[in-house]
Amino acid sequence: MRSRILIVDDEPFNVDYLEQELEDLGYETVSAGNGKEAVDQVASDPPDLILLDVMMPVMDGFTVCRILKGCEETRLIPIVIMTALDGMEDRIRGIEAGADDFLTKPVNPRELIARIQTALKLKHAVDKKLGELSKIKDHFAKFVPEAVKRLVAANPDAPELAKHERDVSVLFVDISGYTSLADRLRADVLNALVERYFSTFLDHIRGAGGDINETAGDGFMAIFQDAEAGGHAVTAIDSAVALLGATDALNRENTEHPLAIHIGVNSGVALVGSTRFEGARGARWTFTASGPVTNLAARLAAAARAGQILAGPETVRRLGHRFRLERLGRESLKNIVEPVEIHGVLGRAPADG
């Protein structure tokens, strides 16, 4: 059975181009010219995946994403947001709205294929597990932190817990040069590479007690909480260093198509929320952290070079002398009002003595 993709864009040329590309690949397509029309179509006949433009009349793409991800019947449909060439702000707002992945306009055909196949593969895997009455548990699963367990115990019938201010460290990791990789590699080869590396990355994050806020095709956000503010900052940086080490180890095995990653970490008070997805054998929780702390972490990741970890000033303040740091000076980052003091993380400091 062919997968059906809903294209949401108010520009007929864009819709025609995507329809032709996708139908040539064997997908069935439907379209909507604005956000309200898209929400109505999904309610009446849910697609397997949605390609969603941001700027549209009647209802914008972020509102559509929030509505669909907030509805029990539609929240598991993958949503790929299409952004402008300089779309970091769109990407951050999309993450907060619940988007699963992102495409940059003008759309690269090979990247389009790679991201759609990745999103559909995950959706079909989840659908299969639900149909078999098994736990929704794979390398995109989340652990429930103790703080949330206590909230659930106090209010077990609540499908969604309101966001609360919490002191956290937020880590963004992205694959460097993903668009170039999508241009050079077949979609199935790229998907297999990303799955192999991300499986290892997610194991590291979960092993350190971090919570993964959904993955996109070329990156993900992780949230670290701890009773001590300095504790989760250290854990987040330790995890970032471990991800670089894991990448090097995987590249020694994968010499034909080695990957590189870049990371941004920032700490402070953010609005942290948890939402429960009801599975066949219990509940699954997903977490997000929003606000200036998250935005700066994303900006740092965007500014980092391949193989580089950039840390915000509050994270650095909490690290003490545990890591070797390189002061990079004050940098102006997009949509951050004041220049930010940035440090590169070079690794763990030598033990005393």
Query: Is residue 122 assigned to a domain?
Result: yes
In angstroms, the CA 189 to CA 114 distance is 9
80/288 Cα distance (integer angstroms): 18
From the number of C-beta atoms within 10 Å of its C-beta (0-12, 13-18, 19+), residue 317 rates as middle
Instruction: Please tell me whether residues 174 and 52 are part of one structural domain.
Output: no
Let me know if residue 93 belongs to a domain: yes
Can you tell me the distance from the alpha carbon of 216 to that of 282, in angstroms, rounded to the nearest whole number? 25
pLDDT tens digits along 249-283: 999 999 999 999 999 999 999 888 765 544 443 44
212 shares a domain with 341: yes
Range with the lowest mean pLDDT among 35-39, 218-222, 271-275, 284-288? Answer: 284-288
CATH (domain of 284):
3.30.70.1230
**139 inside domain:** no
Name the domain count of the chain.
2
Domain boundary among 80, 97, 131: 131
Range of the domain at 210: 146-348
Residues 98, 195, single domain; the answer is no
State the greatest distance between any 2 C-alpha atoms of the chain, in Å, as a whole number: 68
pLDDT score of 84? 74
| Residue 136 counted as domain residue | no
- Alpha carbon of 207 to those of 108, 142, 169, 202, 315: distances in Å? 36, 11, 16, 8, 21
Kind plus residue range of the DSSP H or E element containing 126: helix 109-131
234 and 121 inside one domain = no
* 198 and 109 within one domain: no
Report the share of the chain in percent with pLDDT over 70.
82
Residues 35 and 181 in one domain: no
Q: What is the pLDDT of residue 229?
A: 65
Residues 150 and 127 in one domain: no
Q: Which residues pair with 273 in a beta bridge?
A: 288
pLDDT band of 286, cuts 50, 70, 90: low
Mean per-residue pLDDT, 105-131: 79
Say whether both 218 and 244 belong to one domain.
yes
Within a domain: 353: no
Q: Which residue has the higher pLDDT, 100 or 237?
A: 237
Per-residue pLDDT band for 136 (boundaries 50, 70, 90) equals very low
Helix (H, G, I), strand (E, B) or coil at 306: coil
Question: Is residue 123 over pLDDT 70?
Answer: yes
Q: What is the 3-state secondary structure (H, E, C) of 37-86?
A: HHHHHHHHCCCCEEEEECCCCCCCHHHHHHHHHCCCCCCCCCEEEEECCC
The stretch 217-246 carries a mean pLDDT of 89
What amino acid occupies position 323?
F
